[in-house]
Every structure is written in C-alpha cells, then in structure tokens.
Structure 1
Amino acid sequence: MSEDQKRILEQQLWNIANTLRGKMNADEFRDYILGFIFYKYLSEKMEIFANDILKQDKISFREITPKLKQGKEYLEAIREEALEKLGYFLKPEELFSEVAKRGRGSNDEGENFDEAKTNFILEDLQKILINIQLSTMGTDSEEDFDNLFEDMDLNSTKLGKTPDARNAIIAKVLTHLDKIDFKLEDLESDVLGDSYEYLIGQFASGAGKKAGEFYTPQQVSKILAKIVTTEKHKLKSVYDPTCGSGSLLLRVAREVKDVAKFYGQEMNRTTYNLARMNMILHGVHYRKFDIKQEDTLEHPQHMGQQFEAIVANPPFSAQWSANPLHLSDDRFSQYGKLAPASKADYAFVQHMVHHLAENGIMALVLPHGVLFRGGAEQHIRKYLIEQKNYLDAVIGLPGNIFYGTSIPTCILVIKKCREMPDNILFIDASKEFEKVKTQNILREKHIDKIVDTYRSRKEIEKYSHCASLKEIAENDFNLNIPRYVDTFEEEEEIDIQAVMAEIKNLEAKRTDLDKQIDVYMKELGLVF
C-alpha cells in the first residue's frame, strides 16, 4: 500500500470515528470506534483462519449453517484450532460483516441512514462481544481477552436518546467500516496496525492533559526505541512499566527482526484494555505478550524478572505513597532514600533499574527537574552515578512536543554494563525542531542526529559533550544540560559611533521634510 493510499485509509477511519462523536468527548468515542475496529479485525482473522482449514473440504466458513449436515462437527474442530492458534472463537453468524449486513436492513450504503429501515442488532452485538470473551474461558488466552469490550456500553444514551437512535448510529458505523479492506491476507503489510496507531495519536492530540496517560508521540517513541535496540537485531524481552496503549512497546519491535516477548503494566483500566487490543491488532500472538493492570510502583506485577530492553514515558512528577515500608523493597532498599511523595520520577527510575538485565539498555522520558532537583532526588542521582555508574546519557528535548504539556523534557539512558564507563554523554537537542501550528515536531533529521550522536558518542559544538565523572562530581551531581553543553551564542558587537551617526543623519532628513511640508501647507493656506 502506497503512502497516499495509507493516508486515504486513515482519513476514512477518522471520518467514521467522527460519526460517533455527537456529544461525547474524545476519550469516550475513542473507546467505541477502536472497539469496533478491533471486532472487525477479530472477525476477519477468524474467517481467514477457518477458510484455510476448510479449504480441503471445499466449503467456506460462512457456508456452515445449522442446516449443514456436518455443521456442528466442523465448528467444533475449528473452535478447538482457533482457541489454540488465535486465542478466541467466533461463529459464522457472529462475524462483523454479517452483523453489519443485518443492521443495515434495507438502507443503502450511503451517508443517509433511515432508522425505520435498520434492523435492531444492539442486543445481538452486545452478546457477540461478550461471547468473544466467554470463548476464551479456561484457556491460555483467558487473561488476554478478559473484559476487553467492557468500555463499549451499547445502551449508553451518549450514542442516542432512544434504543432505535443508538441502533441506527451503530448500524451506520458498522456499514462504513465493513466497506474498508484491511488487507489482513497480506502478511507483509500492517495496514490495520498503522491505522490503529494513527487513530490513537489523533485521539491523544484532542484529549488534552489526559493524553499522556495512554500515548507517547511517535517522534519520541522512535528515539527511545532506536536507543534501546542499539547493536541488537533480536530481543528476548522488552518492558514498559507504564505502557499506556502499548504503542511504545510496539515501536521497539519495529527496530529489530524479532521480540520474543512483550511485558507491560498499566494502571488505568480503559487504557489497559486498549494496550491488549493494540498488541493483538499488530499480530502479536497472545502468548507473546504479558500486560498486567495495576499500579506499577505500589503493586508491581513482574517482580523477579529482568528485561533486555526497557522503555517508558511515566506520568511526569506523579504522586505516590513514598511509604517507608518501601525501603525494605529490593527496588529501593539499596539507595537508602525514596523519591518524594509529590514527585515519583525517581521511583520509576529505581523500579526500572531493578528490572534491567545486565546486558540491557533502558531509556525513559522525564521532566527536566530530575536533572537538578535536590534532597532525596539528588541523593538517588548521586548513587546511580557515583556508586553504580549506570547513567550512560542525558538527552534534552524541545519543549511543547508532548500532548497536554509544554514543559521541556529529557531522556535518561541507563546501562549496567557501559562501554564508556568514564564519562556521561550530554546532548542538547532542545533547539532543533520544527514548529507546526501550536506543537513542536521532531522530524526524521532531528531524530537521526540524536540517535547517531548517542551511538557514536560524538562531541558536536553547542550540541553534545562527553562529561567525565570528575566533571559531574565537581558540579555536585547536578545534570542540568547547560552546565555541560555550552549553547551560548555571542551577539554581534554594536558600533555605537555608527549608530549615533545614523541617528543624526535621520534627524537631519526629518528636519528637511518638515520644512518642505511647511511650504506646502502655507501654499494651501493651512497652519502646520
């Protein structure tokens, strides 16, 4: 699929999404449209899988009806295979296109939908979404499909005041989605995955402050992903302790040939559902991801495990308990101090360091304050550098590149086995960006420069500097980037004598002009 075709598809999906908007905010109609797209994906995947099994019998999945003599046997055999390979099962009459066709009734496929011409499908549709989950009960995929559609309340009055109005809008959305070919049979293409990512990004840009809960802008994701995959072609594991929609984990997978397993944790229930859908939509087998829903700092779900690559965009300066009991927790005990209750940034750093494998790399985005704030944060910062020597690089990003906040941010890169243990690389990329409307954007050239500079550890005037550990100690472990990368631009000297001469010249010209105007005014009989 060409870039132009991809853009057309993305715009089609966004237009369909806006059909649902009504009085709902971005968060609410996001859950419906992404849920319907996911249902369509599961249906098409099911049909392709079943048709492949049935090829030798020379029938199609849709031809299996109660009237078919061996119908039950066929369905049971397909169900068993599907639960093992796909992790779920749908009957032929439960397929997306079948439901869309029933709901459309005698309406055509155009824009105008007459309520009276639609068939009522809300109850059937709600049952089907529940059946997808029920089909996994007692199987290995049960946890991955558990309550995936719980945020899609088809009886919500936000969809319409009456059941018929709600039915009409949903029938319309299903009809429009049914016309779109996601090309799932093209194994080399990830059209649907890319489109899903596009929609998630669109919702994030319109969701204001809440956006940071579930989405990291792709430009930042690329930097993190490229850094943690430096000199790696395959990864045993990648982990994100605040995984949101899972987009950052999936971005890492694009930088290597294979990721054996994805791990993540997300506190927000709705976002956790979105992450699991996103994984499955990108063709990640249910056995290849392990995403949990809980508060990472208070109730970590992957204790005892270490990961080869770790990426994160934790909520900036979030509150946490800072309970003294945590000082006996292996994640925090060796530091002797906990991150402040009002700023959990270093608690996330400590958590991630604990889970980092000896040969691993971790990269996370944090607010600039972590570089220079004092107290417990300075203590933790000093321990990481002086006692452990884990900090590999500090990268300053431009302000206003995250949705919902304009503050400048930085990336900390941490490795337990560093190739250059005698220095820390500082990169000041804060001034290299492109302004698009109200947002600052990092283009490919900006991303490539950051990553290339990190990988080569080049020193570039006014951009990067390798600071010795002694230099950092002399700065009392303050990592504020301007202390290490001098970006000061000398202003051109002003010739005061020349400026004064120019002012005298302008004053003389003005006097001459006043005299000329006075002559003209007298000729006209006017007083100047």
Structure 2
Amino acid sequence: MTQDINFMTKTKLLIDNLKSVCANYGLGNDGNEFKIITQVFLYKFLNDKFRYAVKQECPDLVKSEAFSAVLMELSDDDYSDLIDSLDPNIPRLQPEHLISHLFTKQNDDDFAKLFDDTLRQISIENAEVFSVKSFTGAKDTLFDELSQYISDSSQRDAFCKALINKLFEFSFEEMFEQKYDFFATIFEYLIKDYNTDSGGKYAEYYTPHAVARIMAQILVPEPVKGVKCYDPSAGSGTLLMSIAHQIGEENCTIYSEDISQKSSNMLRLNLVLNNLTHSIPNIIKTNTIALPHYLENKFDYIVSNPPFKLDFSDFHASLDKDAFKKRFFAGIPKIAKTKKESMAIYLLFIQHIIHSLSDTGKAAIVVPTGFITAQSGIEKKIRERLIENNWLRGVVSMPSNIFASTGTNVSVLFLDKNADSHNIVLMDASKLGETIKEGKNQRTVLTQTEENRIIETFNNKTAVEDLSVVVTKEEIATKNFSFSAGQYFEVKIEYTDITADEFAEKMNAFEANLSKFFKEGNTLDLEIQQHLKGLKYE
C-alpha cells in the first residue's frame, strides 16, 4: 500500500511538473495546455510501456543503461523480429523515438523540430492501433506538433528541452510489475482542470466513481468472458473503465461513440492507462443520434450517462427517416418553440440503447428522475415497452447533488433482456450519502458501506423498509407504469392498545385544550376589534 501511494505521488508530481513547464512558457490555463499535458503524458507512458515490454522479451539484451543505444546496434532484421515478438497492444517505437535518445540530443540545433518529428513518426507508425476514427473512417493523429503552440519560435527548443528533462526524471516501468488500481485516480488528476464542456454538442458529463461502481457491480454480478461493452455517449470513459474492471480487461472489448474530439482523446488515454489499448480502434467520434456508427451492432453490456437536454433542432429532421423508425419506437421530442437548449435528447439515447442491446443484453442508464414518473408522452411509452417486454430489472434513485455538474435529481435504469418480471427492484437511495463542499458547489458522497448496501440489496432482490421494494410487472402497470419506489412503499399506521378509561381521559384532555384555545381566540378577536376602532377615531 505504501509503495502504491509512493507511485501515485510520483505520477502526480510528474503531471504538476509538466504543468509548471507550460506555465513557465506562457501556456498556463491556455486553451492548448490540455493538448500538451495529455499528449506528453501519453508519450511518456507509451515510451515506458515499450521499454518494459522489450525488457520482458529480451532481458539479456538491455542490461545496459544506454537502452536506446543498445537497440540501435541491432540489425534491421533483428529489430524487426523483436518488434514482431511484442504484444499487438504494445506501441511500435524505433530506438530514436525513445525519451532516452532525445535526452542525449537536447542540446542539438533545432531540437524542437526533432521533438515534433519524433512524435509525428510515432503517430504514423502506430496509427492502426492508436488512432481515433470519425464516422467517415478518417483517423486522427496521435500527437500534434507540440512546439508550435509556443508562439515565440526562439523559445521552442528550450520548451521541448524542458519537457524532455521532466520526462527523463521519472519512470512508469516499475509500476508495470504488478497491476495497480490507481490509474483511474491518476486519470482524474490529469484531466481535472480540463474536464469541462468546450462548446461541443454533447457536454462532458463526469460520472462519479461511486455511481460507476454501483452500475458495474449490479450489471455484472457474476464472471463473464468474451463480451462487448458499449457507451453511446462515452465522454472520458468513466463508466466503460468501471465495467471493464468489473468484467476483467482481458474478458471484454470496449466500443464507444461521442461527438467530442476532446472526449475521444481523453477516452483513448484512459484506455491506454487501463490496459485496454486493444479497444482504441473502436472509439468513434460521431453524432451518435444522427450518424450512428454502430447502428447495426448489438452489445452485451451498455452503460451510459447521456446528456439530458440539448438543442438538436439542426438535425431533428434527419431523425425521422425509415432507417430510424425501429430505433425511435416511442417517438422523437418535438422542436421547442422557446428554450431549444432544453430539448430532451436523453429520450433518444434511451431508445438507441434499447435498440443496441443483444438478445441477452443488459444496460445501465443514468436518467433524470422525472423520467420514471412522467404521466404521459415519450417517457411513458418507453416505460410501457420495458414492462411489456419484461426488460426492466429495476431502478435506483440516487441522492440529490450526487453529480456536482448538475442539480438534476438522477436515477439509474437497469435493463436486462432476460429480466425477472416478477421481482423488479425499485430503490429510493435519495436519503443516503453525506454532503461535502467542492469549491462553490455542494455534492453528496456515498460511503463505501452505502455503496455496498445498494449493490447487495439490488442484486439480492431484497425489500428493505424505506429503501427498496420488489414488485411485479402487473403492479407497475396498475401504477401508470411508475418506476418510483416511493409509490409502492406501504403507508404505515401505528396502533396503540388503551383501555376505555384511558381513551376517555385522552378525549377529555383534548376537549379541555380545545375550549382553552377557543377562549384565547375569542379574547384575541375582541382585542383586535378594539384596536381597529381606536385607529378609526384617530
């Protein structure tokens, strides 16, 4: 545990040092700082991943500290054989791509150009595995020419030299000796200053780890293998990482769609950090609703925290076409006359997720709590379809303010194509958690005990007073298809056995009190009338 904390401290220090370099060259809080920090961090991680893999494959070859120099002495054929022997998920680097080589070249003329050329070459040679694709199939570049973000060209060499020196001081390699669970925390630390919406269509919704863990552990209570997991509004990938850890990274393949280039790049970095590099080619940057890349695919597990409200009037007309009729079975929200930004796009995501489930598929979707009780409209049509087809496993209504980014109360909808329609779990966890302050916002945080209580109560299908009920599909139908646990809680009336004399005594006391109150009321009325008369004559 001490070593775990030590590694985390060192990694955070590296991130802080990179931010310090950016600040020293006028890029602190600059719009491009995010690209520099995340890409340099990714370069470092890939560099060390490659070094570690080569040392594991050829321990005798790399006893020398001059790692890149030793590799340079290999013949082309030997080096090619070495590369071919590595796992497909390991980046393909040349000796001159390594940080140790750039460190020895840092005082050369045009070092910034060498730095940029190195990153460009790595991008080209690793495009097949490490590129994010758009809907059209076009691939992005893994790295930008980072020195170009320094507007004063005379400072570029010094800037790149400063970055390389910070990278050279630190190594991830010893962390690869065993599996650590802190990379989710490291990722959060890395992007914490940049994880906000930058004007894209879909806002970057950050899902708290507690909610992500609850969703994953309810979705996957038993071991599974060879499954496909999907998020149609993936953001930076918190939900996907959580379910992948629950299943086991080697037992699942990740698929995602999101319209934001920044979110897609965050997700790529998250996949690399979490040993899911093999799924990077499945990241698609697209408008999931209007231009779905995976429309014909079916998935075993789907997790999603979709945007709740968004103006989609500019592509509303394109949704009403024959190819989407089956997908949007409950309808498409109309274009609002005012407040178009409040259009309920999440209703389209729910329908898209239902359409994308395999015959045995399961899903967990974050929805505004208002969805589970709406009396009519698309919301009710969706709920009716879930009940009629026996696809609802249950609902958990979360505490208010559990999401710092939105004041909307949320619930998590759990779907299962093989759900038990006679034991549907409806849970009201809104009273759980403790309130903490984060900057100007207040957020509700669940304790580990409360997390476990929610998961165990749900998975065991247990009715707990004031927390959960277990109901049938028929009972839900009689309540206008409401998914709110509160509407099924029993109204409790407490009875107390008393004698006839005790009853008479209580009634006499009530009568005496009433008489007293009436007298006081009459006295007060007289005083008010006298006061009003006095005011009139004045």
- Tell me the residue number matched to 1:62: 68
Q: CA deviation at 1:453?
A: 1.4
User: Which string of whole-angstrom CA distances, capped at 9 and with x for unpartnered residues, describes residues 228-259 of structure 1?
Assistant: 11223435121111111223212112213442
Q: Tell me which amino acid in the other structure corresponds to 1:168.
A: A
Could you tell me how far apart the structure 2 residues matched to 1:209 and 1:407 are? 21
- The alpha-carbon distance between structure 1 residues 288 and 192, as it changes in their structure 2 partners (threshold 3 A), is same
Q: CA deviation at 1:268?
A: 0.7
- Tell me the residue number matched to 2:477: 473
Could you tell me how far apart the structure 2 residues matched to 1:431 and 1:10 are? 37
Q: CA deviation at 1:47?
A: 2.2
Indicate which of 211, 217, 220 corresponds to 1:220.
211
Q: CA deviation at 1:305?
A: 2.0
- The alpha-carbon distance between structure 1 residues 198 and 379, as it changes in their structure 2 partners (threshold 3 A), is closer
Q: Tell me which amino acid in the other structure corresponds to 2:125.
A: S
What is the DSSP-based 3-state SS (H/G/I as helix, E as strand, rest coil) of the residue aligned with 2:39? helix
Q: CA deviation at 1:432?
A: 1.0
Contact 2:422 2:473 in 1 (8 A): yes
Could you tell me how far apart the structure 1 residues matched to 2:226 and 2:412 are? 21
Contact 1:239 1:309 in 2 (8 A): yes
Q: CA deviation at 1:410?
A: 0.9
Contact 1:381 1:477 in 2 (8 A): no
- Tell me the residue number matched to 2:266: 274
Q: CA deviation at 1:57?
A: 5.5
Contact 1:363 1:413 in 2 (8 A): yes
User: Which string of whole-angstrom CA distances, capped at 9 and with x for unpartnered residues, describes residues 194-218 of structure 1?
Assistant: 4542325633677799995163221
- Tell me the residue number matched to 1:155: 148
Contact 2:53 2:90 in 1 (8 A): no
Moved more, 49-58 or 475-484: 49-58
What is the DSSP-based 3-state SS (H/G/I as helix, E as strand, rest coil) of the residue aligned with 1:435? strand
Structure-to-structure mapping, 1:108-507, within 5 angstroms: 121-136=111-126, 146-150=139-143, 153-157=146-150, 161-183=151-173, 186-190=176-180, 193-194=183-184, 196-200=186-190, 202-203=192-193, 213=204, 215-257=206-248, 258-286=250-278, 290-320=282-312, 321-323=315-317, 325-326=319-320, 328-329=322-323, 332=326, 335-341=329-335, 342-419=343-420, 421-437=421-437, 438-485=442-489
Structure 1 gap segments, 5+ residues each: 106-117, 501-528
Q: CA deviation at 1:78?
A: 3.6
What is the DSSP-based 3-state SS (H/G/I as helix, E as strand, rest coil) of the residue aligned with 1:230? coil
Q: How many residues align?
A: 474
- The alpha-carbon distance between structure 1 residues 418 and 47, as it changes in their structure 2 partners (threshold 3 A), is same
Could you tell me how far apart the structure 2 residues matched to 1:401 and 1:162 are? 44
* TM, length-normalised to structure 1: 0.78
Calculate percent identity across the aligned residue pairs.
21
What is the DSSP-based 3-state SS (H/G/I as helix, E as strand, rest coil) of the residue aligned with 1:446? helix
Q: Tell me which amino acid in the other structure corresponds to 1:259.
A: N
Contact 1:245 1:275 in 2 (8 A): yes
Could you tell me how far apart the structure 1 residues matched to 2:169 and 2:197 are? 28
Could you tell me how far apart the structure 2 residues matched to 1:166 and 1:77 are? 37
Moved more, 3-12 or 463-472: 3-12
Contact 2:50 2:92 in 1 (8 A): yes
- The alpha-carbon distance between structure 1 residues 79 and 334, as it changes in their structure 2 partners (threshold 3 A), is closer
Could you tell me how far apart the structure 2 residues matched to 1:399 and 1:163 are? 50
Could you tell me how far apart the structure 2 residues matched to 1:393 and 1:323 are? 34
Could you tell me how far apart the structure 2 residues matched to 1:51 and 1:4 are? 25
What is the DSSP-based 3-state SS (H/G/I as helix, E as strand, rest coil) of the residue aligned with 1:238? strand
Q: CA deviation at 1:72?
A: 3.4
Could you tell me how far apart the structure 2 residues matched to 1:382 and 1:194 are? 34
2:37 aligned with 1:47? no
* TM, length-normalised to structure 2: 0.77
Could you tell me how far apart the structure 1 residues matched to 2:492 and 2:308 are? 29
Q: Tell me which amino acid in the other structure corresponds to 1:323.
A: A
Contact 1:44 1:184 in 2 (8 A): no
Q: CA deviation at 1:452?
A: 1.0
- The alpha-carbon distance between structure 1 residues 194 and 332, as it changes in their structure 2 partners (threshold 3 A), is same
What is the DSSP-based 3-state SS (H/G/I as helix, E as strand, rest coil) of the residue aligned with 2:465? coil
- The alpha-carbon distance between structure 1 residues 81 and 464, as it changes in their structure 2 partners (threshold 3 A), is same
- Tell me the residue number matched to 2:499: none
User: Which string of whole-angstrom CA distances, capped at 9 and with x for unpartnered residues, describes residues 83-111 of structure 1?
Assistant: x72464222222123324544x5xxxxxx
Q: Tell me which amino acid in the other structure corresponds to 2:238.
A: S
Q: CA deviation at 1:77?
A: 3.4
Structure 2 gap segments, 5+ residues each: 336-342, 495-509, 517-538
2:96 aligned with 1:93? yes
Q: Tell me which amino acid in the other structure corresponds to 1:252.
A: I
Contact 1:427 1:465 in 2 (8 A): yes
- The alpha-carbon distance between structure 1 residues 263 and 423, as it changes in their structure 2 partners (threshold 3 A), is same
Q: CA deviation at 1:119?
A: 7.0
Q: CA deviation at 1:169?
A: 4.2
Q: CA deviation at 1:459?
A: 1.2
Q: Tell me which amino acid in the other structure corresponds to 1:314.
A: P
Could you tell me how far apart the structure 2 residues matched to 1:151 and 1:343 are? 36
User: Which string of whole-angstrom CA distances, capped at 9 and with x for unpartnered residues, describes residues 268-308 of structure 1?
Assistant: 11221221222123222426862211111111112322221
Could you tell me how far apart the structure 2 residues matched to 1:176 and 1:12 are? 10
Could you tell me how far apart the structure 1 residues matched to 2:401 and 2:393 are? 25
Q: CA deviation at 1:129?
A: 1.4
What is the DSSP-based 3-state SS (H/G/I as helix, E as strand, rest coil) of the residue aligned with 2:51? helix
Contact 1:17 1:29 in 2 (8 A): no
- Tell me the residue number matched to 2:530: none
What root-mean-square deviation, in Å, do the aligned CA atoms of Structure 1 and Structure 2 show? Answer: 3.7
Q: CA deviation at 1:383?
A: 3.1
Q: CA deviation at 1:28?
A: 4.2
